[in-house]
């Protein structure tokens, strides 16, 4: 890491309000490849470099959770050859990066329907999850065969089953209880969502969890996105006032009151 980058990271940490959880919609791989007259898989391969750089930077900054929208349920509708190539790329990438994940104390997790993945891909993910489960640094959370609507429906079914068996009373169901039945149970909601390639939509991603998430959109295509772009997103986040439905004056009062009580 260069001296300049160390200065940037220290400045971000000194600001005192780093996001605990960053979620990224990694968009633009296909366009990146098309502009270079390359097959789409070339964009996905270059996107892996971006993942590696961002994961490393998040770990160095002390970010708790990084959730990457890796493969949606809708992505299964893409051409079969692209899907097959993506699944093989995931296997190679997980196997190649496993030692670095361990060295950097990164814990791998997944959300979504892992059972939908081909067996080699599923097995490689499970192996990496098992081998990194003791890690205590950054949680790298991959959304695979994921759908925000399906996640909510799956949670509703689990809650309904608990009510049917008498393990849960309807009067006990609130937002906190319901959240424990989502794929992201025990993880903080995202503070910052980054979407690359300039698209202005959430694409069925973490619909429940993003109720109060700050959204940052950049025109940079994912294969070109590197830690410098990440730092810009975090700096923009740190300049915002998160009100959670309150007035600005109320937020300032709460902060002042909390400081005086501490």
Phi-psi region of 173 (alpha: psi -120 to 50; beta: other; left: phi over 0): beta
d(CA 132, CA 136): 9
Phi-psi region of 83 (alpha: psi -120 to 50; beta: other; left: phi over 0): alpha
Nearest to residue 184, comparing CAs of 152, 225, 211, 161?
Answer: 152
- One DSSP character per residue, 185-202 reads TTSPPPSEEEE-TT----
Q: Count CB-CB contacts under 10 A for residue 122.
A: 19
- Taking every pair of Cα atoms in the chain, the longest distance, rounded to a whole number of angstroms, is 61
Nearest to residue 221, comparing CAs of 90, 33, 37?
Answer: 33
Residues belonging to the active site: 27, 75
């Amino acid at each position: 890491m260069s001296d300049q980058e160390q200065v940037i990271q220290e400045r971000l940490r000194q600001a005192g309000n780093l996001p605990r959880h960053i979620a990224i919609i990694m968009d633009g791989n296909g366009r990146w490849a098309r502009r270079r007259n390359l097959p789409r898989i070339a964009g996905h391969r270059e996107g892996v470099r971006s993942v590696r750089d961002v994961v490393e930077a998040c770990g160095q900054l002390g970010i708790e959770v990084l959730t990457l929208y890796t493969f949606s349920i809708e992505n299964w509708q893409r051409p079969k050859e692209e899907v097959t190539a993506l699944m093989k790329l995931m296997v190679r990438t997980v196997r190649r990066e496993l030692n670095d994940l361990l060295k950097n104390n990164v814990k791998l997790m997944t959300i979504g329907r892992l059972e939908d993945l081909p067996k080699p891909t599923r097995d490689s993910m499970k192996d990496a999850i098992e081998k990194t489960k003791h890690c205590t640094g950054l949680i790298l959370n991959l959304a695979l065969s994921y759908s925000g609507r399906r996640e909510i429906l799956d949670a509703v079914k689990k809650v309904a089953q608990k009510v049917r068996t008498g393990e849960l009373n309807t009067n006990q169901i609130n937002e906190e209880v319901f959240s424990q039945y989502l794929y992201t149970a025990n993880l903080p909601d995202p503070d910052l969502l980054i979407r690359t390639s300039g698209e202005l939509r959430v694409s069925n991603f973490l619909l429940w969890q993003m109720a109060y998430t700050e959204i940052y959109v950049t025109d940079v295509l994912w294969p070109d996105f590197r830690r410098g772009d990440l730092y810009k997103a975090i700096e923009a986040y740190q300049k915002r006032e998160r009100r959670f439905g309150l007035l600005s004056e109320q937020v300032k009062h709460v902060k002042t009151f909390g400081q005086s009580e501490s």
